[in-house]
Amino acid sequence: MATIKDVAREAGVSIATASRVINNTPHTSESANIAVKNAMAKLGYRPNANARALASKSSNAIGVIVNDVSSPFFGTMVKAIDTVASELEKQLLIGSGYHDAVKERSAINLLLNSRCESLVVHSKGMTDAELSKLADEIPGMVLINRKVPDIASRCIALDNRKGSYIATEYLIRNGHTDIGYICSNHNIEDANDRREGYLDALRDNGIDIRENYIEYGEPDENGGEQAVVNLLAKNIPITAIATYNDYMAAGCMTLLQENGMRIPEDISIIGFDDGHIARYIYPRLSTIRYPIQVMANEAVKLSLSLVDKAVTKETERKLFIPMLVKRSSVSKIS
């Protein structure tokens, strides 16, 4: 006897999509409907009547996939989406993907099985091809902080490369040429783009690229602290450091200050994201503002519009431009 897994495999869709078609869930794409129904007919699949009746109940929920719900960055993102959900009297269901394809896929399937028609996904593990296929199957799916060319109109992203360029160029305009970089060791688009932005700024200003000026670590305070330890151990003449995010910058600053170095008198530091920590460490951190609240708001509204079929034509992806926030951790040198 055929199972739902057999139907999904025959139709070339996920089990979650097959389940939605079988249970007559609204807003499932036409192509998925046709493929699953053809597979059901071919395999002679007969869904359980009681299961169909149970699954047909609406949950009125918005689903969100983040990397790690405990991260303050993602907390801000979820709060922005929850504000919209509350205004519309909808519930928010959250899954964590941890930048891992298997976990992201599992979290998405769980939210879909919970009847989430609107889905805002922060994915760094799954491939562009898989996300494009899922978008075809899930009309209400929108990606945040990800650029996938085939579904550009459903992507809300930040120009990370430009942001890191702005940060590094700000240090250069303040007279710094010996600039270190502390980078995330996660192999994701954000980390690669921010590193390339740093390198672009050096090239464009005629400064030699020196790979030993770059260190990697976990994108948190401990990672920043360990990365700056490794950087200082090389005994190279660094007057400024650009960092992957504010948390790495905070760890870096703490270590430097504990070793008698003054910020910014002895060394300048710049972060990225403009999270809460940037305002409350001393000196207050110069950084790049990541407008995650605005982006999350745009993402959930686009998702809801797609579910309601209020979006009538394809539009270009929304690429947000980061802004420099000048505070007290960078000083000019002669």
Q: How confident is the model at residue 311 (pLDDT cuts 50, 70, 90)?
A: low
> pLDDT (tens digit, 9 = 90+) per residue, 259-293?
999 999 999 999 999 999 999 999 999 999 999 99
Q: Is residue 300 part of a domain?
A: yes
**Percent residues over pLDDT 90 in the chain:** 74
Distances, alpha carbon 321 to alpha carbons 108, 159, 237, 289, in Å:
28, 6, 32, 9
- The answer to whether the CB of 214 falls within 8 A of the CB of 185 is no
Instruction: Note whether 141 and 194 are same-domain residues.
Output: no
Same domain, 138 and 35: yes
Span 328-332, average pLDDT: 98
178 with 154, same domain? Answer: no
Q: How many CB atoms lie within 10 A of CB 196?
A: 14
Asked if residue 59 has pLDDT above 70, the reply is: no
* Euclidean distance between CA atoms 135 and 33, whole angstroms: 14
Are 82 and 63 in contact by the 8 Å Cβ rule? The answer is no
pLDDT of amino acid 44: 79
- pLDDT higher than 50, residue 125: yes
Average pLDDT, the chain: 91
Asked whether the predicted pLDDT for residue 250 surpasses 60, the reply is yes
Which position has the higher pLDDT, 193 or 6? 193
At 316, the pLDDT band (50, 70, 90 cuts) reads low
pLDDT attached to residue 313 = 55
CATH number of the domain within which 269 lies: 3.40.50.2300
H or E element in which residue 158 lies = strand 155-158
Positive or negative, the CA dihedral 27, 6, 53, 84 is: negative
User: Is residue 39 domain-resident?
Assistant: yes
The pLDDT-based confidence of 74 (bands split at 50, 70, 90) is very high
Residue 95 within any structural domain of the chain: yes
Domain that holds residue 179: 160-289
Model pTM above 0.85: no
DSSP string, 94-131: EEE-TT-HHHHHHHHHHHHHTTEEEEEE--SSS-HHHH
